[in-house]
Structure 1
Amino acid sequence: MSWFSNILSDEDNSSSSLGDKEMASDMLMASKADITALAKAVTEAANPQLRQILTNQLNSCINDHFQLSDLAIQKGWYNAFASPGQQIKQDMQEAQNLINQDQQNQQS
């Protein structure tokens, strides 16, 4: 792994797993935006040297994105192979768990 290896640890810490999941999700969204912007820039670059620099950067961003995606799947933060209905059901369950935790914290 490269740029995110120092951010996300390999240790399984249940108290921070939601924070790690959210961070990974945000990083994946930012990565997708970067890839889209670089792909557009490559197609619009007229200078061959600039096009090559942008292409190299695009390939690097794609590789980082794949590594982060693989990590999110491995950690169970993203079930890439679930149907859309299953993903929605899982998201709804996680939201309900957060609501229940918040209610318990308010009662304490």
Structure 2
Amino acid sequence: MAQQKQQTQDMELIGTLIYQLKMESSSICTAILESANDNVRMQLTQILNKSLQNQKSVFDLMSQKGWYKTEAAPAEQYQRIQQSFVTMQQQQQQAQSQMQ
């Protein structure tokens, strides 16, 4: 019984941690987008990358313990998302070239 209670507490604690890491990366991303100083942007990008690495570590631990379940996306859904991303990149490049 005590072991189950400890496991539940651990699961809640690590769930809170991953939530906080998600909020952290969101805030850092906003700061990057709103920064006019290239040096600040570069430093914030490095901090964001570290935050994302930390999230991955926590996610892997949660997944390993069965506390964070995911399903693999069907191949057609993956292809649709990939095509949408390519289209967005092309549109962004076109918009940037029109601004020049």
Q: Same fold (TM over 0.5)?
A: yes
Structure 2: any 5+ residue segments left out of the alignment?
Answer: 73-100
Letter in 2 for 1:27: L
- Alignment partner of 1:56 out of 46, 49, 58: 46
* Residue equivalent to 2:28: 38
With normalisation by structure 2, the TM-score equals 0.65
- CA deviations over 1:64-83 (Å, ceiling 9, x no partner): 0011001001011121229x
Letter in 2 for 1:42: I
- CA deviations over 1:16-70 (Å, ceiling 9, x no partner): 1100100011001101100100001001111111111100000000000011001
Computing the radius of gyration from Cα coordinates, the structure with the larger value is 2
* Residue equivalent to 1:88: none
Q: Which of the two has greater helix per residue? A: 2
* Residue equivalent to 2:61: 71
CA distance in 2, matches of 1:43, 1:33: 15
Could you tell me the percent identity over the aligned residues?
A: 29
With normalisation by structure 1, the TM-score equals 0.61
Q: Give the 4+ runs in structure 1 shifted more than 3 A.
A: none
Is structure 2 residue 3 aligned with structure 1 residue 25?
A: no
CA distance in 2, matches of 1:40, 1:77: 29
How many residues in Structure 1 have an aligned counterpart in Structure 2?
A: 70
CA distance in 1, matches of 2:44, 2:54: 15
Structure 1: any 5+ residue segments left out of the alignment?
Answer: 1-12, 83-108
Letter in 1 for 2:37: N
Aligned alpha-carbon RMSD (Å): 1.5
